[in-house]
Structure 1
Amino acid sequence: MAANGTTAEATTGPAMTANPAALAQYLGDLAWRSVATAQILQQRAENMKAHEAAGMPPLLHFEAEEVLDGHTLQPPTNYRLLRVTRCGTDALEQYVRRAAAPVIVVDPRAGHGPGIGGFHRDSEVGMALREGHPVYFVVFDPQPVEGQTMGAVVETLARFLDTVAARHRGKPPIVYGNCQGGWAVALALSHCERQAGLAVLNGSPLSYWAGEPGVNPMRLLAGFTGGVWPAHLLADLGAGTFDGAWLVQNFEALRPEGVWKKYETLWAHPERERDRFLGFERWWNGFYFLGREELLAIVNELFIGNKVEHGEVVVDCGCRADLTRIHTPLLIFSSYGDNITPPHQALAWLRSVYRSTAELVAAQQRVVYLLHPKVGHLGIFVSADIALREHRAILHYAEKISQLPPGLYEMQLAAATDQQGVAAASFVSRRLEDLQFEPQPPGFDRVQQLSADLDDIYTKLVSPWIRLLGSKPMADFLVRSHPMRVSRQVWATSLPLGGAELSFAAGALEEAKLDDAARERNPWYRAERAASAWVEQSIAAWRTLRDEGAEIAFRQLYGSDGPAAVTARFDPSQVAPPASA
């Protein structure tokens, strides 16, 4: 049987060749769809240019006012705290109750701009308003403050928590952290023991070495690139800033069949997919920047160093980010379909921080986890279905979660909902010892050592020369020529692919009315769908082989008998950098 439910009879040669009119209709519709898709790509390029020209503002569906600017704090950062004032489509703000705990949504800063937590009406922001909470949203500017550090960001988020609590008579806020925003919130709560009413960590990694073969190959990347030094080099070439387009490119490379599916779905039904595609792409192609100091600390101390679990991350003021200092109840939402932050990376840290369930209880801490079987990483934040079910339930039961006895719980949602549309929830007591996620798999400690050695060589021997020879014009050129931007901007109206010929072809095909509203019944179209599904499956099969091969190679390189088991230390301290660096 062919893919997508098409039968062999529908896609065989005799059934199609018996009706030449169907072939002619298919070819006409194919031409129309191809040109319509090209026009949508042209519109994406123009939207991207307009967004960049406007300074890449946050893409929120909601109106908001600024409460606090991180540029005014010490140390300064590029973060800002907004208060949501109005829903863009209907008056969700009418449900807000004065006595309700405020909600702060912290979006991820991992290559894209802010907005994913409030991109639609049915979003984290929308559900918080619907549940009656005053809502605040943390955004950030495209460019970091010069010299901005990870510690400065942590301190800024802690100040935002204090500010929101003060605006609501000391009532501790519910803080929502998405991906990078989640681990940043965890560091802020552990930094000098800041408090919140509930911290919701959505797809947020805190155990960076944990994982399962074939689930999240990104954790192996440092073992093949040599660690942090390539990121250090890119930041030096960027005149002190790291282009977030590299992070987005890595994300797409993780699941290339998803990239094929995105464009193939658009091509199959451009008239139906246009608005959805353009809306999401406005956010997806807004590439933000990170500063060199902040980036290197994130990569060195978190992703490669894995220092969070052991309380070894030191923020700028000298206070350690110790997870045992978090006394705020935690809700951890993760998915087995997430190849960026699977449950392994979201939950394994608990076994490192608390040696037993008894120790967790003795610390008077409450940890609740909610697992989804298949939603992907972005779906955790942006899916309307997830917002209406999981996030609505999380916020609805937030007070109950904070009142649970100390311990570990699994939040389970029933299929049925009440009259308000909220799924019934139960909280099942669990044992920490039963979590099957290994926080410290072998080999990663050797990657950490290799990364430190190679970055030491790069920092002392290469980086000073790159900084000396680099310039802002060169950095701007590298930004403009990045493949993620070029592949989008090549369709702009000022370039051949998106020029006058495209408009002329679109007009002619539109006038000829070649689009086929009943294309689903055309056997040639159904054969095209089957072929496209085969291509997607082939790409997925190749990606599986790639990831399995990476796991085998990693074990060979960094296992107990691998060549990285014994590393030679190199001390370039006697080599002087350029005098003017």
Structure 2
Amino acid sequence: MKKEPTTTSARPVAAGLHMQWIDYCGDVLWRTAATMDTLRERSDNMEEHEKAGMPPLLHFNAEEVADAHDFSPPSNYRLLHITRCGTDGLERFVRPDAAPVIVVDPRAGHGPGIGGFRRDSEVGMALREGHTVYFVVFDPLPVEGQTISAVVESVARFIAIVCRRHPRQQPIVYGNCQGGWAVMMALSHCGRRTGLAVLNGSPLSYWAGAPGVNPMRLGGAFGGGAWLAHLAADLGAGRFDGAGLVQNFELLQPEAVWKKYDGLWAQPEREHDRFLEFERWWNAFYFLGREEILSIVRDLFIGNKLERGQVVVDGHCRADLRRFATPLVIFCSWGDNITPPHQALGWLRAIHGSTADLVAAGQRIVYLIDARIGHLGIFVSADIALHQHRAILRHVREIQSLPPGLYQMRVDAGGGAVFEPRRLEDLAFDPQPPGFAAAHELSEALDALYGAFLSPWLRLVASRESADLLAHWHPMRVSRQCWSPRKVAAMAVLPRLKEGARAAAAQPAQRDTNTWYRLERIASDAVHDGIQAWRQWRDLAAEAWFLWLFGASVSGVPKPNPPNVASKCATCSARHLGAGATGCCEFSEHCAILSGSPA
């Protein structure tokens, strides 16, 4: 009996995969060329910005109101008045009767602009809500011998200038990240106050954090403390290169660096403009003065002296947060591994002790916590600007009229807000966990030895020429500038290479349906997850070793064995290993990791 031929789809499927492979290879060639050319554009933008003197990267036009170079003591800070919003015309909404807004940007290695380099930003929302806006910026180089006290005094004088320009309305002052502690110190002495202070991702309890989730607070201990910053500033001939701070930020979460570049390579036509817009700010590396960075490291991040009122501001007056009388809004996020809610809120109990003490002081403090946004997203996310930042401005009068006490602000999808009373006693964030006092003592001892025996010799040897050479060859700069045709002549062919490969580029819709592209994305996700798993192990191991090395010296008991670092939430059993994972529950009554006790 004759058998009928069997039909099969193997050949059409194989043929389809073969054609998809050809299309995929051509698309990979174009995507690679387009990505490399984007990196060339980034290096060109970086060079042009440096040649222009590295001005603030604002989306808005501004005029200078005051220059702190003329103050006594001087600093490299300047006060700008935002005059218009490009072609968007947001300045037309400004009302004379609205309180002015002052935005103080952070000094953390980058240049100023994070609060206003996009239309939908803190500056943009303030203009849209009718407020006259001022922006505090700083120059790339510090004044010789600039101190943290000079910076705080400059911010205080800028606030006073705005108050004189708007005598009928007390200003609203935004402090972004490190700009937050500058605002707090400026307003916590000499009876100064404003209409409202808003701290966005601002650390004030520098030792606080969730074990295994916030490793940055441990860095000073493993490095031996402030002497490394002292060494870097000496080698820089009195200047500390902010590129090192940006590098530390990237090392903190390496999977995010992979995702940034892989996202550009996966969809270069879609990511091109967004990548270059952010990188203009991210790769503007500014310098800090030796005295300034040493005060920041010694007194704040390692010494944790601010909440104890031990930071001297102007030679005779200390920044006492108990005297801070301005209504306060604190915005933080569980997804922020730079300034977690522990560091943003932990200082409240250290300062006021109890809710009754807070009420007796006549202070009103409002906090709002996002579930997942990361540190930079607090400032640059358009969704956050349109939602949380806009809601804060819309409810300023309501915040100012609240009875003294602590409140949690909850914002709904339409921008409405409710203020729920809270108790300080329920904020179970320990601002002084075990081990950090011992790490501080070690830092002081090593820094004293370095200052006595090595620093004087390095100051004699280091010159401006040697410092500039070190800055030029810093890995953060070399990794960017190596794509510049001015540095590497072969990079001049990248635009032609991109154009030559354009014919092979796939349309985004076709690319997404290509089997080989989807396999590539699966492999990329696996690499991302692998880097993330290694980083989580690194952070958990660092926490365990920190407790083993430093934790016992506080209590006087024998050193414990390295702790079990596999912490879990007691309620949902989720492993809290990454940024944002703590969003399932708010405070430590439900989550062991937030109170520092392994589950």
TM-score by length of 1: 0.92
Give 3-state SS (helix, strand or coil) of 2:305's partner.
Answer: coil
**Paired residues of 2:185 and 2:313 also in contact (CA < 8 A):** no
Q: What is the match of residue 420 of structure 1?
A: none
Match of 2:271 among 267, 270, 273: 273
Matches within 5 A, 1:254-273: 254-273=252-271
Aligned-pair CA distance for 1:400: 1.0
Q: Secondary structure at the match of 1:242?
A: strand
Select 1:460's aligned residue among 435, 442, 452.
452
Alignment of 1:398-417 (within 5 A): 398-415=396-413, 417=414
Shift of 1:216: 1.2
Match of 1:524 in 2: 516
Matches within 5 A, 1:496-575: 496=488, 499-510=491-502, 512-517=503-508, 518-560=510-552
The answer to whether the Cα contact below 8 Å between 1:229 and 1:455 also exists between their aligned partners in 2 is yes
Could you tell me how far apart the structure 2 residues matched to 1:52 and 1:345 are? 34
SS of the counterpart of 1:296? helix
SS in 1 for 2:454: helix
Identify the match of residue 161 of structure 2 among 163, 186, 200: 163
> For 2:197, which of 192, 196, 199 is the aligned residue?
199
Larger mean CA deviation between 525-534 and 515-524 belongs to 515-524
Distance 2:313 2:490 in 1: 49
- Among 467, 472, 476, the alignment partner of 1:484 is 476
Mapped to 1, the partners of 2:122 and 2:329 lie a distance apart of 14
Unaligned ranges ≥5, structure 1: 1-11, 418-422, 567-581
Match of 1:139 among 127, 137, 141: 137
Q: Do structure 1's residue 123 and structure 2's residue 115 form an aligned pair?
A: no
The percent identity for this pair of structures is: 63
What is the one-letter code of the residue matched to 1:541? A
2:523 and 2:19 map into 1 onto residues whose CA distance is 21
1:98/1:473 Cα in 2 relative to 1: closer, same or farther (>3 Å)?
same
The 3-state SS of whatever aligns with 1:279 is helix
1:44 equivalent in alignment to 2:38: no
Kept after mapping to 1: 8 A contact 2:213/2:540: no
- Aligned partner of 2:214 in structure 1 is 216
Q: Distance in 2 between matches of 1:156 and 1:90?
A: 31
How big is the shift at 1:69?
A: 0.5
Range with greater deviation from structure 2 (14-23 or 94-103): 14-23
Q: Which amino acid aligns with 1:461?
A: F
SS of structure 2 residue aligned to 1:138? strand
Within 5 Å, which residues of 2 pair with 1:15-414? 19-169=17-167, 171-414=169-412
Contact 1:266 1:273 in 2 (8 A): yes
* Contact residue 120 and residue 386 of structure 2 kept, 8 A: yes
SS in 2 for 1:499: helix
Q: Name the SS of the counterpart of 1:25 in structure 2.
A: helix
Q: Distance in 2 between matches of 1:87 and 1:460?
A: 52
Per-residue CA deviation, residues 467-503 of structure 1 (Å, 9 max, x unaligned), is 0111111000000000000000000012447523323
With over 3 angstroms needed to count, the CA separation of the structure-2 counterparts of 1:468 and 1:159, relative to structure 1, is same
Report how many residues are paired: 548
- Equivalent residues of 2:205, 2:347 under 8 A apart: yes
* Range with bigger deviation, 86-95 or 437-446: 86-95
State the Cα deviation string for residues 143-176 of structure 1 (Å, max 9, x = none).
0000110001111111011100000115211000
Provide the C-alpha distance between the structure 1 equivalents of 2:12 and 2:177, rounded to a whole number of angstroms: 52
1-structure distance, mates of 2:269, 2:333: 32
Structure 2: runs of 5+ lacking an equivalent: 1-9, 559-599
Mark the CA change 1:542 to 1:497 in structure 2 (over 3 Å): closer, same or farther: farther
Q: Does the C-alpha gap of structure 1 residues 556 and 530 become closer, same or farther in structure 2, counting only changes over 3 Å?
A: same
Amino acid at match of 1:152: A
Per-residue deviation, 1:414: 1.5
Match of 2:440 in 1: 448
State the distance in 1 between where 2:189 and 2:50 align: 35
Match of 2:568 in 1: none
Compute the RMSD of aligned alpha carbons: 1.8
Give, in whole Å, the separation in 2 of the partners of 1:163 and 1:563. Answer: 49
Q: Given the superposition, is the C-alpha separation of residues 167 and 556 from structure 1 closer, same or farther in structure 2, using an over 3 Å criterion?
A: same
Distance 1:442 1:143 in 2: 38
CA contact (8 A) 2:435 2:553 kept: no
SS in 2 for 1:118: coil
Tell me the SS of whatever aligns to 2:532.
Answer: helix
Aligned-pair CA distance for 1:18: 5.2
- Alpha carbons of structure 1 residues 273 and 141: separation in structure 2 relative to 1, 3 Å: same
* Structure 1 residue 564 displacement after superposition: 11
Partner of 1:472: 464
Contact 1:556/1:562 (8 A) holds in 2: no
Give the TM-score taking structure 2 as reference length.
0.89
Deviation, 1:390, is 0.1
Which amino acid in 2 is paired with 1:552?
A
- Secondary structure (helix, strand or coil) at the match of 2:63 reads strand
Alignment deviations for residues 179-219 of structure 1 (CA, whole Å, 9 cap, x no partner): 00011100101122211100000000000011111221000
**Aligned partner of 1:343: which letter?**
P
Counterpart contact for 1:558–1:564, Cα < 8 Å: no
1:525 partner amino acid = Y
Matched residue type, 1:413: V
How far apart are residue 424 of structure 1 and its match?
0.7
Distance 1:256 1:16, change over 3 A: farther
Contact 1:302 / 1:308 at 8 angstroms: preserved in 2? yes
| 1:528-580 deviation per Cα after TM superposition (whole angstroms, max 9, x unaligned) | 000000000000000000000000010111021699999xxxxxxxxxxxxxx
